[in-house]
Amino acid sequence: MGLVSTNVAEWGGAKSAARARQILTLRGVTLSFGGVTAISDIDLDVAEGEIRAIIGPNGAGKSSLINVISGVYRPDRGTIAIGDTVFADVPGSRVARLGIARTYQNLALFKGLTVLENVETGRAATVSSTFIEQVIGIGRARREEADTRARSEAVIDALHLTSVRDRLVGTLPYGVQKRVELARALVSEPRLLLLDEPMAGMTAGEKQEMAGFVLAARDRFNASIVLIEHDIGVVMGLSDRIAVLDYGRKIADGTPDAVRADQRVIDAYLGVAHDDDIIEESNA
Amino acid sequence: MTTASIPLPRPASAIGRVPTWPLPLAVIVFAYAGIPLFASDYLYDAILAPFLALSLAAVGLNILTGYAGQVSLGSAAFMAVGAYAAYNFNLRVEGLPLLASIVFAGLIASAVGVVFGLPSLRLKGFYLAVSTLAAQFFVQWTLTKFSWFSNYNPSGVIDAPALNVFGYVFEGPHGRYLFSLSVVVALTVFAARLVKTQTGRNFIAVRDNETAARISGVPVLHTKLLAFAISSFIIGVAGVLWAFAYLRTVEPHGFNLDRSFQILFIIIIGGLATIRGAFFGAALIVVLPLVLSRAGTFLFGSYFDSGVLDMSQRILVGALIIVFLIAEPDGLAALGNRIARRLRLKSPTN
Amino acid sequence: MESFDFPFFIEVLVGGLLSGIMYSLVAIGFVLIYKTSGVLNFAQGALLLFAALTFVSLLERGVPFWITFAVTLAIMAVIGILIERTVLRPLVNKPPITLFVATLGLAYVLEGGAQLLWGTQVHGLDLGIDDVPYVVGGVFISTFDLFAAAVAASIVLLLTIVFRYTRIGLAFRAVADDQFAALAIGLKLPVIWAAVWIAAGFVALVAGLLWGARLGVQFSLSLVVLKALPVLVLGGFDSILGAIVGGLLIGASEKLAEVYLGPFFGGGIESWFAYVFALAILLIRPSGLFGQRLVERT
């Protein structure tokens, strides 16, 4: 089917309007660090219930994009609409209440807390009791704590973390920590889940398991998902639509099949020879 | 950091799971019923009184520094605020019960703590640590400069009031000990509960990864100021105990920078982010000079005068800090855990 | 305002700037170590005390000035190397705040050690500079302060030359920029660290002599560290230029505040003024005086 149009506003808009409500809409988002442009004029749409992958070589700006959406970085230009609310700069402290949760490329767990406590912290935004109520353990503090505990336990079970529930996260293998991060994100029941390389550094078996969890995040926890992943095979299998970034620009956007056939994508991956994300992996 | 650990033979139990209350309860019972059976006045006045006050101050600082990760070099200032506030409430508000004076004093210390905690919203690490020194010097200056705080007493040293709680006066070494002990137990139980609540988890989350905490919905600014407030409250009350139950005078000089460092050293030697560590560390810091003095006199006779004692104590404390940081960065609390585990592994019944 | 005594104002200002240079001198010792090892070395004040006390004690025992200077410098070098070996090396890669507390412990050891070794009495130190005030346009300027300023300026010049034009200086800057890269190209970090500690010891000795001549050599000398900290907060922990500008600013504002604001507070405000001043500036300009630095970084 040849080239995919890069005029996404038109393309994505038409398509998603036909399908579902838009949960995330980026328009012209640009971010630079001291003169070096990390992402440039990005448009991106995520429809409700969609798994939306972002791929691209290292340094293409994928993580920066997630950091902008989750309010870690402030973009220089452009708008970010979460549901119907439009931001020039997403406030990081309100992200959780806006229904966004995320994981990190390099783990960002709380090392001094156990798995359960890390997951429970994902509910922090829902807590309204004061510390005094919590210490005494009465009324709404008790209800909130019980609710937090029950939901955390449920997510821990769902992600097969029960056996390490009471371990300090720092003592766990890398792959398990990645899962704990997903659990911490899921427990807040996000509308939009941002996953920054959730399978990096995992074995094939772990990747498969994680892929199952990503699907479950959408199908059982009703989250729309933005997924950054290097393993093209995993991405092709999981995603509904894929956006491809190169040097901070979006060079393609469409269904896995369309993107796979796109000449510019092939060039970006093969022509520039970024050695650690070769597209042949997709045949695996 | 992300090194995979070898799975332990038994599930490595987190601190929260196994019931942890029987041991502290036994310690409390022993402190109330056991110690009075053999304690001398010297033990009460020279060891237990400063030990209890310093332990409580260390519990307070541990909330801020150990749990919430905000380093403070101004603890003694908040002790001073507590001591002077309690003194003035007691002096100036007719008929206010002593306990109310102490609670209000804690609240004042809390408010001062929040003010000096404001820089923590923008500064981190060394910059914050240095900025807490501002509290130390400003408070010390205020209390010496304005004699209203010491009721225009020419020497600036004022007698502490009697420890009268609803008509019962805690008198004598034993009475003062019971008073201090009760205050320390109450606030320690509070602190131990606090760190297990969502607020406590928020403290650790902010300490371990501020960005991730914010994105996960932890109210970071509120959490930091709350840590300053709660910590300063506890340290303020510790200051009241120091002045009212230990020294029995209120004077600004006891609350100097060295005291602030001492409390910081206690939580490092005892173990950051542990409640019991504060007590272990305080015990070591209080007992150390006494042991050193005995040992010095025994070994060197009259050459070991108070000047030499002071200096050797300084060297020893400094060296201890360095040794702990290198060899046992998690402090006496972790050391205790390891010894306990080894004993348990050895004993066939368990 | 008609009664504003301008010459007096200038006198206070100049006095403040000159004592600010003395702060800078202490602050530079911090910067040297911070730049290469990321440690805020709280023991810098104790080093200063140790150096001054050793110097004056040797001098009092009849050792000639320059020999005393050389011997003290050698002792400081040995101490610097010892510190690197026994304290910093085992703690490498630990969080910065751990290293900071370690230097706090180190300060205790050095303070105790210096006084155990040389006693606790106050020593006078005469560097042979008559403190006759110069009069310039009706403004009195202390000769000693001028001398101190000149010494401080020479030290800064010397350090700049060493770090700009010598091999060790090049290595120093490489390490300051990027420890891992420096390691990768085969620079020996321990050698550089030892060199830096020796340099810090030298700065401590000079500062200790100047401060000691002014205040007397005694325990309180190690408290000048507390004067240097606000300077560092203001100028940045990693900038020699910042240490100088910060020192001048703090020195001048502190003296002016003491003279013109002090009376409203009942005096003695210099114990905290520098801190509050530095904090106020930092809250308005979180990046400090010298822009690039991220305050978030620990």
Give ipTM to 2 decimals.
0.86
Average model confidence (pLDDT) across chain B: 88
Which strand (E) or helix (H) includes residue A55? Answer: strand A51-55
Question: What is the mean predicted confidence (pLDDT) over A132-139?
Answer: 91
Smallest Cβ–Cβ distance between B122 and the set C98, C276, C286 belongs to: C286
pLDDT of A158-217, one tens digit each? 999 999 999 999 999 999 999 999 999 999 999 999 999 999 888 888 899 999 999 999
Do β-strands A241-246 and A249-254 pair in parallel, antiparallel, or remain unpaired?
antiparallel
The domain total for chain B is 1
Q: Which of B320, B319, B295 is nearest to B308 (CA)?
A: B295
Residue B290 has a pLDDT of 87
Closest chain C C-alpha to B255 CA, distance in angstroms: 15
Test A93 with B209 for CB contact under 8 angstroms. Answer: no
Q: Is B231 helix (H, G, I), strand (E, B) or coil?
A: helix
pLDDT reading at B10 higher than 60: no
Residue C97 has a pLDDT of 79
**CB neighbours of C66 closer than 8 A, spacing ≥ 6?**
none
Percent with pLDDT over 70 in chain B: 93
Domain membership of residue B150 as a residue range: 22-156+166-254
Average model confidence (pLDDT) across chain C: 82
Structure tokens at A118: 């890390």
CATH number of this structure's domain C6-284: 1.10.3470
Pairwise pLDDT comparison (B141 vs C139), residue with the higher score: B141
Confidence band of C3 (pLDDT split at 50, 70, 90): low
pLDDT of B315-334, one tens digit each? 999 999 999 999 988 889 98
Neighbours of A, requiring at least 3 CB pairs below 8 Å, are B
Test C298 with B125 for CB contact under 8 angstroms. Answer: yes
Dist. CA B305–CA C115, nearest whole Å: 13
Residue A141 with chain B: CB contacts under 8 Å: 197
Smallest Cβ–Cβ distance between B126 and the set C226, C237, C268 belongs to: C237
Which strand (E) or helix (H) includes residue A23? Answer: strand A22-33
Q: With contact defined as beta carbons under 8 Å apart, do B281 and B268 qualify?
A: yes
Question: What is the mean predicted confidence (pLDDT) over B273-299?
Answer: 91
pLDDT reading at B5 higher than 50: no
pLDDT reading at C185 higher than 80: no
Question: What is the mean predicted confidence (pLDDT) over A229-252?
Answer: 90
Task: Write down the pTM of the prediction.
Answer: 0.89
Residue C217 has a pLDDT of 87
Q: Return the domain boundaries, chain C.
A: 6-284
**Which A residues 7-46 touch B at CB under 8 Å?**
none
**Which C residues 195-254 touch B at CB under 8 Å?**
226, 229-230, 232-233, 237
pLDDT of B215-264, one tens digit each? 999 999 999 999 999 999 999 999 999 999 999 998 888 899 999 999 99
Closest chain A C-alpha to B118 CA, distance in angstroms: 18
Question: What is the mean predicted confidence (pLDDT) over B12-36?
Answer: 77
How far are the Cα atoms of A194, B162, B216, C214, C232 from residue C25, in angstroms, in the given order?
Answer: 51, 50, 45, 14, 11
Is B110 a domain residue? yes
Neighbours of C, requiring at least 3 CB pairs below 8 Å, are B
Dist. CA C37–CA C92, nearest whole Å: 9
Pairwise pLDDT comparison (C78 vs C163), residue with the higher score: C78
Residue C9 has a pLDDT of 86
**CB neighbours of A75 closer than 8 A, spacing ≥ 6?**
A29, A30, A31, A39, A68, A88, A89
Residue C141 has a pLDDT of 78
Residue C266 has a pLDDT of 72
Is B328 a domain residue? no
Pairwise pLDDT comparison (B127 vs B237), residue with the higher score: B237
C148 touches chain B (CB under 8 A): no
Residue A261 has a pLDDT of 86
Give residue for tokens 């060297």. Answer: B315
Question: What is the mean predicted confidence (pLDDT) over B263-273?
Answer: 94
Residue B202 with chain A: CB contacts under 8 Å: 121, 124
Q: Is A48 helix (H, G, I), strand (E, B) or coil?
A: coil
Do β-strands A224-228 and A77-82 pair in parallel, antiparallel, or remain unpaired?
unpaired
pLDDT reading at C179 higher than 90: no
Residue C227 with chain B: CB contacts under 8 Å: none
Q: Return the domain boundaries, chain A.
A: 1-92+191-199+221-284
The DSSP letter of residue C166 is S
Question: What is the mean predicted confidence (pLDDT) over A67-87?
Answer: 93
Backbone φ and ψ for C162, nearest 5 degrees, come out as -60, -45
pLDDT of B26-67, one tens digit each? 999 999 999 999 999 999 999 999 999 999 999 999 999 999
**Helix (H), strand (E), coil (C) string for A62-95:** HHHHHHHHCCCCCCCEEEEEECCEEECCCCHHHC
Residue A95 with chain B: CB contacts under 8 Å: 214-215, 217
pLDDT of C101-155, one tens digit each? 899 999 999 999 998 888 888 888 877 777 677 777 777 778 888 888 888 888 8
Residue B16 with chain A: CB contacts under 8 Å: 114, 117, 166
Dist. CA B186–CA B172, nearest whole Å: 21
Is B116 a domain residue? yes
Do β-strands A100-102 and A192-196 pair in parallel, antiparallel, or remain unpaired?
parallel
Confidence band of B111 (pLDDT split at 50, 70, 90): very high
pLDDT reading at A266 higher than 50: yes
CATH number of this structure's domain A1-92+191-199+221-284: 3.40.50.300
Dist. CA A133–CA B194, nearest whole Å: 10
Residue B119 has a pLDDT of 85
